[in-house]
A and B are shown apart, each in its own frame.
Chain A
Amino acid sequence: MINSFIVHPNDTVAVVNKSISKGENVTYIFGDKEITIKAMDDIPTYHKIAIKVVKKNNDVLKYGEVIGYATADIELGAHVHTKNLSDVVRMEEV
């Protein structure tokens, strides 16, 4: 069952359109294919799930644009939110 969508084909996250429990399948359409991944966390409605692995300090993309960097390694199916994503300028960059 399709329960999520991507905003832009380059995105590293999808948005779930219902609340998802850890272990549940999350399915979205990419081009003409249905892709299913397993949720590694509980994910509230309209929150983000990782559809690509993003290593710590690498960019997270939504709308095909950088919405921040990973503050921890993000695995496939993880809830992408404040615990692993930020766009606050890091002190070492200042």
Chain B
Amino acid sequence: MKFNGYKRQDGHVGVRNHVVVMPGVLCSEVATKKIVDKVEGLTYIYNPNGCVQNHKDTAVTLDILSGMIANGNVYGALIVGLGCETTQKNDYINAIKAKTNKPIFYISIQEEGGIQKTVEAGVKIVESMKKEANKCVREEIDLSELILGLECGGSDSTSGFSANTVLGNTSDRIIDFGGTTVLSETSEAIGAEHILRFRGKTPEIGQRIYEAILKWEKDRYEESGEDVRTNNPTPGNKEGGLTTLSEKSLGCIHKSGTRPFDGLYEYGQIIDKKGLFFLNATAYDVANVTALAASGAQIVAFTTGRGNPVGNPIVPVVKITGNHETFARLNDFIDIDTSDSITGVKSFEEIGGELLDYVISVCNGETVKAEDNGASEVAINQNSSFV
């Protein structure tokens, strides 16, 4: 199976062709946004960090932001710094160059001599980058080059037995074509770790995933003194019929279908092999979509029973619901309704095939509603508050 995407000189493959502009620190956002406003068709990545973080958080932030810029959906990027912040020009350049050789530019407000001069310099850079990016043409690419992120958020009871089951079937199909899918949201595997333990391609892989989930639960308890099960499921999950975290997790893992796991990646690592993987990262919707994009997923399939409109600046986020009422009521941000699998009108396998066809059309350039709505949130896990 094939799709039409962009082949990058670093070997990655994209389904979008973003020219990114990102502040190097939130302090320089004002100049960054003015550049985005002046030139049509740029992509803004929100960066809430860049300064007064501890070393560990600075490193995590760099892992995630450089991963997003290295994503195959990005042609190139301009970073607009302030000048005096913790994360300096070379920190960004080195982190990004370690992952990709695509065009990267950096300017700063203090060096350029003010907002206006920074905007002028930035506009010149992005106009020329945009011109080059527009020369990229879509080429036929094998489905084995696709990395699909699997995400659920705002779940209700239908997510587990409809939308996630359908998505699991789509995931199986992609794996069978030699492609890659990524299950994540470690805290929403709590209560289902005993099942994933036996889903590894080797006993060691299963054990690694199992231990990562147990450790996640223990670490959260030690950090906060709270059992994660007391704040997850959320009030909306409960109203939608989910009572316990175990029940939610047992539904969540259906997104990964039935194929064996080929390995585990840690938060911020780039996925550099093919197959089904577990990405050890938070279940917070925005941060998890960000994590999947930073690990190289070119598209994210996001199931939602209650209805969540979140998107991502560089990755199309396909919204899928098993709740027909949600699909009808919140239709301006949900793409796919799988409720026919509950009523028996269609089998979940049949809808899984249709969902794959839709994913391919999105790879080929069809925009999802999150893109049409301009939903482009970014969140990055931090261990500490600003120091």
Q: A interface vs B, CB < 8 Å? A: 5, 7, 15, 17, 44-48, 62-63, 65-68, 80-82, 85-89
Q: How far is the CA of A87 from the CA of B243 in the complex (A)?
A: 9
Any A CB within 8 A of the CB of B353: no
Any A CB within 8 A of the CB of B251: yes
Q: Which B residues are in CB contact (< 8 Å) with A15?
A: 157, 161, 241
What 1/0 flags go to B137-162 for Cβ under 8 Å of A?
00000000000000000001110110
Q: List 21 A-B contacts (CB under 8 A).
A: A15-B161, A15-B241, A17-B342, A46-B156, A47-B157, A63-B160, A63-B250, A65-B192, A65-B246, A67-B191, A67-B243, A67-B244, A68-B247, A80-B243, A81-B241, A81-B243, A85-B244, A87-B245, A87-B247, A88-B230, A89-B229
Residue of B nearest to A87 (CB): B244
Q: Which B residues are in CB contact (< 8 Å) with A65?
A: 192, 195, 246, 250
**Interface SS of B by simple majority:** helix
Q: How far is the CA of A48 from the CA of B247 in the complex (A)?
A: 11
Q: B interface vs A, CB < 8 Å? A: 156-158, 160-161, 191-192, 195, 227, 229-230, 238-241, 243-247, 250-251, 323, 325, 342-343
Q: Which A residues are in CB contact (< 8 Å) with B240?
A: 46
Q: Which B residues are in CB contact (< 8 Å) with A48?
A: 157, 241, 243
Q: How far is the CA of A48 from the CA of B230 in the complex (A)?
A: 20
Q: Which A residues are in CB contact (< 8 Å) with B157?
A: 15, 46-48
Q: Which B residues are in CB contact (< 8 Å) with A85?
A: 243-244
Residue of B nearest to A2 (CB): B344
Q: Which B residues are in CB contact (< 8 Å) with A47?
A: 157, 241
Q: Which B residues are in CB contact (< 8 Å) with A68?
A: 243-244, 246-247
Q: Could you tell me the distance in whole angstroms from the C-beta of B364 to the nearest C-beta in chain A?
A: 34
Q: How far is the CA of A46 from the CA of B243 in the complex (A)?
A: 12
Q: How far is the CA of A15 from the CA of B241 in the complex (A)?
A: 9
Say yes or no: A46 contacts B229, CB within 8 Å: no
Q: How far is the CA of A84 from the CA of B240 in the complex (A)?
A: 17
Q: Which B residues are in CB contact (< 8 Å) with A86?
A: 243-244
Say yes or no: A67 contacts B227, CB within 8 Å: no
Say yes or no: B250 contacts A67, CB within 8 Å: yes
Say yes or no: A63 contacts B251, CB within 8 Å: yes
Say yes or no: A66 contacts B238, CB within 8 Å: no
Residue of B nearest to A86 (CB): B244
